Amino acid sequence: MVEELDPTKYHVLTPKMKKLLIIAGAVLLLVVVPILSYFYYQAAINRPSQNPNEIRVSIPSGSGLSGIAGLLYERDLLNSEFLFKLYVMLNKLDKNIQAGVYVIPAGTSIVQLADILQYGTDDTSVTFIEGWRVEEYARLANEKLTELNYEDFVVMAKQYEGYLFPDTYFVNNEIKTKELIELLRSTFDRKTVDVLTPEVLSGLNMTKEEVVIFASIVEREVSKEEDRPIVAGVLIKRWRNGEILGADATTQYSLAAVKFGCDTEDNSICPSDDQARDINWWPNPVSFTNEDIAFANPYNTRAVAGLPPAPISNPSLSSISAVVNFKDTEYLYYLTDSEGTTYYATTLPEHELNVARYLR
C-alpha cells in the first residue's frame, strides 16, 4: 500500500499554494511584464544607434517597411529592425516614408530616424532656437527653404505659437509650409506627451495652455536650467495671488512689432518680411521707457494683470518641465543680468538693491 505524502514533510503543492502561485504568475504576466516592456521599449527607441559615422543611404521608390528596415539595419543605422518597424507601425508613419537619398547623422535613434524619413530627403538642416517667436521661425525658414514664404508661414503658424517645438530638423529643401508646421507641432506633442499628462495638469490645477504660456515666459526670462523652476515658482505664486506678473519678456513681446507700427487691426502681415530683417524682437529691458512699461497690451504683464492670452515664444522641454516641477520658495522677486546670472529677493527693497547693483 502506497502512503500519501505528508505536505508538511515534502514539497507538495497544496490547493492553497497552487492558487497563490497562479495569482502571483498572473500579476507578473499582466502587470510587471508590461511595465518592464514599456520602459524597455521607450529606452530602446530613443537609444542612439551604434554607428559612429554620418551615413548616406538611398531609399528606393516603392520600398516597403520591411525592406527599408532591412536596408537601414544593414547600414548599421538601426539597433533593431523589429523595434523600428514596431515604432513606425504604432505611430502610423509607414505611409509617410519617402524615397530619396538621406544623410543620416551618427548616433541617430529610431525616433529621430523615423522623423527624418517622413519628410523626404534631408537636403537641409534647420535649427529653430528655444524661445523664438513665430516670426523668427518664419525668417529662418524663408532663408533656408526654397518653398517657404515668410508671410505664409506667419499666417499659418501664429495660432500655434508655443507649440512649435524648437529643435534641429532635417527636411526636404522643398517642404511645404503646412508640412513643416505639422512636423513642428507633432514633435511638440511627442516630446511633451509624458510631461503634460492629465494627471500632472490636475495636480497643478492648471490647463495645458496655462503651463505652456508660463513656460514660454520662463524660457525668455532665464537661461540657466537650475533657475527655471525657481522663477516658474515666483511667477505662479504671483498669478495665484492675483498679483501682476511683471515679466519683462512679455513687455518685449508686446512692444517689438508695435515699434514698426504694427498695432493696427488690418489683415496685412506686420512687420513685413523686409521689416522683420531688421527688427530686434527682444529689446533690452533696461531700455524700457515708462511709456513702454505702461503699454496697455494684453501681452504686457508689466501693465496688465493675469496671463497673456497666448504663449510669447516656443519653449524648450526644459522650461515646460520647470513649470510642471516649479519650486515653491520664499522668493518674491528676481532679475537676470547681462551675463545670464539670476538674483533673487524676498522683499522689494532687496530687489531694488539688486536692480541698482546688477542692471545699471
Model pLDDT, residue 31: 57
- Give the pLDDT confidence score for residue 131 in this predicted structure: 97
* Residues pairing with 170 in the sheet: 125
Residue 99: its pLDDT value, please? 74
Q: Is residue 279 a contact partner of residue 225, using CB atoms and an 8 Å limit? A: no
Cell numbers given for 205: 490645477
pLDDT given for residue 19 in this prediction? 65
Q: How far is CA 359 from CA 34, 155, 342, in A?
A: 54, 37, 11
- Residues 250/347, Cβ–Cβ less than 8 Å: no
In a 3-state reduction of DSSP, which class is residue 323? helix
Taking the whole predicted model, whether its pTM rises above 0.85 is answered as: no
Residue of 139, 190, 146 whose CA lies nearest to 172: 146
CB 248 within 8 A of CB 221: yes
Nearest residue to 315 via CA among 201, 176, 237, 210: 210
Residue 125 pairs with which residues in a beta bridge? 170
Instruction: Give the pLDDT of residue 92.
Output: 84
170 φ/ψ sector (left φ>0, alpha ψ -120 to 50, else beta)? beta
Q: What burial letters (b/e) apply to 158-170, b meaning 16+ CB within 10 Å?
A: eebbbbbbbbebb
Biggest CA-to-CA distance, the chain: 107
Class (C level, CATH) for 55-118:
alpha beta
How far is 126 from 170, CA to CA, in rounded Å?
6
pLDDT at position 16, please?
A: 66
Q: What is the pLDDT of residue 267?
A: 44
The residues, any chain, with a CB within 8 Å of residue 236's CB and separated by 6 or more, are 214, 323, 326
Q: How many C-alpha atoms does 311 have within 13 Å on its Cβ side?
A: 32
Tell me the residue length of the chain: 360
Could you list the pLDDT tens digit for every one of the 360 residues in the chain? Answer: 555 555 555 555 667 666 666 666 665 666 555 676 677 778 878 888 888 888 878 787 678 888 899 989 988 888 888 989 989 888 888 877 877 778 888 888 999 888 888 766 656 788 999 999 999 999 999 999 888 889 999 999 999 999 999 998 878 787 889 989 998 998 899 899 999 999 999 999 999 999 999 999 999 999 899 999 999 999 999 999 999 999 999 999 988 767 666 654 444 566 666 666 667 788 788 788 888 888 888 899 999 999 999 999 999 999 999 999 999 999 999 999 888 899 999 999 999 999 889 887
Predicted pLDDT at 349? 92
Neighbour-count burial of 55, counting CB atoms closer than 10 A to its CB (0-12 exposed, 13-18 middle, 19+ buried): middle
Exposure of 248 in the CB half-sphere (CA atoms within 13 A): 19
Q: Rounded to whole angstroms, how far apart are CA atoms 255 and 269? A: 16
CB 256, CB 281: distance < 8 Å: yes
pLDDT of residue 20: 66
Q: What single letter denotes the amino acid at residue 210?
A: E
Which phi and psi (to 5°) does residue 251 adopt? -70, -40
Q: Where are the alpha helices (DSSP H) in the chain?
A: 15-27, 33-46, 65-74, 81-90, 110-118, 134-144, 150-157, 177-192, 198-204, 208-221, 228-240, 248-258, 273-276, 290-293, 317-324, 348-358
Q: Are 250 and 299 in contact (CB under 8 A)?
A: yes
Here the cell at position 80 is: 533593431
* Domain(s) of CATH 3.30.1490.480: residues in the chain: 55-118
